[in-house]
Amino acid sequence: MVPMACVFGQSLEFISESLKMSRHDAIITGAALTPYNRRKDGTGFRDWSTDAFFDALAMAEIAVSDIDALFVASESDFFSMQLNPASVLATELGMTGVSATRCEGGGASGQLAVHAAVNAVRSGSARHVAVIGVDPSASSLSGDAVRALYGFSFDVWTDGFTGATSSALYALSYQAFAQPYGTTDDDLTRITLQTRSHAQKNPGAHLPLDSTAQDIANSPMIASPYRRLHCSPLSDGAAALIISGQAYLPQTRRSAPRVGGIGAATDHMHLGARPAPGDFVAKSVSMQRACAQAGITSDAIGLAEIYDPYAGAALQGLVALGLSDDPARDLRSGVFGPMGRCPVNLSGGLMGQGAPVGATGVGQTATMAMLLEGRYHPDLQPHTLPRYGVADTHGGLCTTAAVTILERGAGA
């Protein structure tokens, strides 16, 4: 077999050198999220997108006419009943005439849209770019219908028609991970309680539950070892970013964080074709690529928003991102808690804050941008700002991965 490093191609040296040759720094000048929840107020995805976009625009201190391009992340037309949502939103937001593109990569859609926007700015083809992630994942279809659709996030002809759900596939991958890393059900409980405790301090969170270990143990079995409280909810909501070129940065936004590095990769579609089915290899490769761009190693990361649709996926992510080689030990010792060396998912993560799919990756990056600028929810904002933070997103069973490393702005 060919080593995975060759399968994934590009050398990290090439990535680093090519960036030096064409560097146009991308700055996160605006960031906003709507609350994530199940909407019952008669509003729709256009309303949420509008709210998030204009909040981000106000933070960026620019006008609609300054936007050169719009990237919209939305996972499925089945949720919104709207094909070509990017052009619809361009009109809704009063920016008809801009370049408008819809980005889709399953659960990674939002982060891939961020990458597309960063590349547009870095290439010099746009001064300011808007990114909007949105999906009505909770209110437009029944839970059973959404679960059936999610089954088609994997290979339809093998996993999809077999009836293997997202929960079942994640559960199998986690078991393959738990064996070599020695993580237990207690660790699933620990990461769930920690993440949900953060969500309780996030006014925009979908599930700010004050759960106990017993509550988790008593919740219904979804796909062993995952119980309902180990899982993220289906949510409605939107998130938005304004990404600006360094040369066009408003004088008042000098504290805004810079995009240090972006990286994306794919893994084998079939879980069984992966040499180590518990490892999120695409995430590791994405992180290596992002770190190479940023000129750092993973131990420089001091904040992380990790993609955690299930409790075990957070543990798998910590290892894949190079933030831990023993997640059970580090979790127990508080490394990833609010006062730890690298606080993880202060937002509440997908499990606590919620998961409107297209919005997720955009929202994770928006959260990281606000944290690194000291503008996040007061009860969750660290007093000491690290230099680097990472927003990590993936689609399928980490079949498509995308990570973004942000660097604290000079004035923050």
Applying CB under 8 A, which residues contact another protein? 1-2, 7, 81, 147, 155, 157-159, 161-165, 167-169, 171-172, 175-176, 220-226, 268, 270-273, 277
Q: Which is nearer to another protein, 24 or 268 (CB)?
A: 268
Q: Which is nearer to another protein, 143 or 334 (CB)?
A: 143
Closest CB 271 distance from another protein, rounded Å = 6
Closest CB 77 distance from another protein, rounded Å = 11
Task: Report the C-alpha gap between 381 and 299 in whole angstroms.
Answer: 21
Q: Which is nearer to another protein, 149 or 300 (CB)?
A: 149
Task: Report the C-alpha gap between 184 and 169 in whole angstroms.
Answer: 18
Closest CB 315 distance from another protein, rounded Å = 16
Q: Which is nearer to another protein, 121 or 223 (CB)?
A: 223
Closest CB 412 distance from another protein, rounded Å = 44
Q: Which is nearer to another protein, 176 or 213 (CB)?
A: 176
Closest CB 389 distance from another protein, rounded Å = 33
Closest CB 398 distance from another protein, rounded Å = 15
Task: Report the C-alpha gap between 47 and 44 in whole angstroms.
Answer: 5
Q: Which is nearer to another protein, 139 or 200 (CB)?
A: 139
390: phi then psi, degrees, rounded to nearest 5:
-125, 140
Task: Report the C-alpha gap between 288 and 305 in whole angstroms.
Answer: 17
Cis peptide before 225 (omega within 30 of 0): yes
Q: Which is nearer to another protein, 9 or 203 (CB)?
A: 9
**Tokens linked to 407:** 């660097």
Closest CB 16 distance from another protein, rounded Å = 26
